[in-house]
Amino acid sequence: MPRRVRPRPPAPQATAAGDAQPGPPRALAELKALRKNTKGALLRAWEAAQTRPRPSNPPAAAESPLSPTGPSAEDSALFRQAMREVRPLAARHARADTGSRPPLPVPLHHRADESATLYESLHNPLSLEDRLDIGEEAAFLRPGLPRRVLSDLRRGRWVLQGEVDLHGLNRDQAREALGHFLQSSLQRGHRCVRVIHGKGLGSPGRVAILKHLSRGWLAQREEILAFCQAGPHAGGAGALLVLLRAPGARGRS
């Protein structure tokens, strides 16, 4: 009698697209439940975002601590404390006095040295060395003063206290600049100054026009006691050393 063969069970059909690979029935059920719960949570979150009220204006950015929002209460208190003794001017249109600065004090030892030099120039005779030192250079000496004043001026026995440079100026500009400089020097108590007129190398014909003009202007002013050509170390033929009257003397232009 022939043996009966039992039929084999049919092969399982393929699962839907996107499902997990076949596995134990319990694991497959848990995976499906997790996927369903995740989709539900995402859907509920999206619906909540759509129904949430939106603000009409976006929130302002946080204010920087360095933004110019005015002084703090502490700064205002410090300012009021610093200004507590300040009082307004009585007159309606009053203004603070912003006049010219007072002249700088003249060192006492400089003034003493200059007085001694002037006394020596007035009372001591001119030596042979002094005569050779003056030479043939153009110079000016106020009548009544000994020539030793020129010698001391030429040899640098006076302290140089100021200078004015007339380079590049025309006739009128140079005369005005020289007048202002001399007036300012007298107000400051200066006794020895330098006037730089140049050598005329850039003038037509290489003629030192300002050199001759400045000498004439200086000789016309009563506050000038003497002047001479500067030494090689102080400008040479391009400058003059000028000796002024004592402070408080009144001169004319």
Is 141 or 101 the better-scoring residue by pLDDT?
A: 141
Spell out the alpha helix ranges (H) of the chain. 25-51, 73-82, 108-123, 128-134, 148-154, 171-187, 209-219
Q: How confident is the model at residue 126 (pLDDT cuts 50, 70, 90)?
A: very low
Confidence at residue 250, expressed as pLDDT on a 0 to 100 scale: 57
Give the pLDDT confidence of 1-18 residue by residue, as tens digits.
556 656 665 655 555 444
Instruction: Compute the CA torsion angle 159, 162, 163, 164 (nearest 10 deg).
Output: -160
Lowest mean pLDDT among 54-58, 109-113, 237-241: 109-113
For range 153-161, the mean pLDDT: 88
Is 53 or 211 the better-scoring residue by pLDDT?
A: 211
Q: Which residues of 133-171 are buried (b: 16+ CB within 10 A; e: fewer)?
A: bbeeeebbbeeeeeebbbbbbbeebbbebbbbebeebee
74 belongs to a structural domain: no
How many domains does the chain fold into?
A: 1
84 belongs to a structural domain: no
What pairing do the DSSP bridges indicate for beta strands 163-165 and 192-196?
parallel
For range 58-70, the mean pLDDT: 56
Percentage above 90 pLDDT, the chain = 13
Confidence at residue 20, expressed as pLDDT on a 0 to 100 scale: 46
Confidence at residue 125, expressed as pLDDT on a 0 to 100 scale: 46
- The answer to whether 192 touches 153, Cβ cutoff 8 Å, is yes
CATH of the domain at 126: 3.30.1370.110
Confidence at residue 244, expressed as pLDDT on a 0 to 100 scale: 92
8 belongs to a structural domain: no
- The answer to whether 204 touches 233, Cβ cutoff 8 Å, is no
pLDDT > 90? residue 59: no
User: Phi and psi at residue 110, in whole multiples of 5°?
Assistant: -65, -45
> What's the rounded Cα separation, in Å, for the pair 136 and 122?
21
DSSP assigned state of 17 = T
166 belongs to a structural domain: yes
Question: Which range of residues forms the domain containing residue 177?
Answer: 108-244
205 belongs to a structural domain: yes
pLDDT > 50? residue 109: no
53 belongs to a structural domain: no
Give the pLDDT confidence of 234-251 residue by residue, as tens digits.
777 888 999 998 876 554
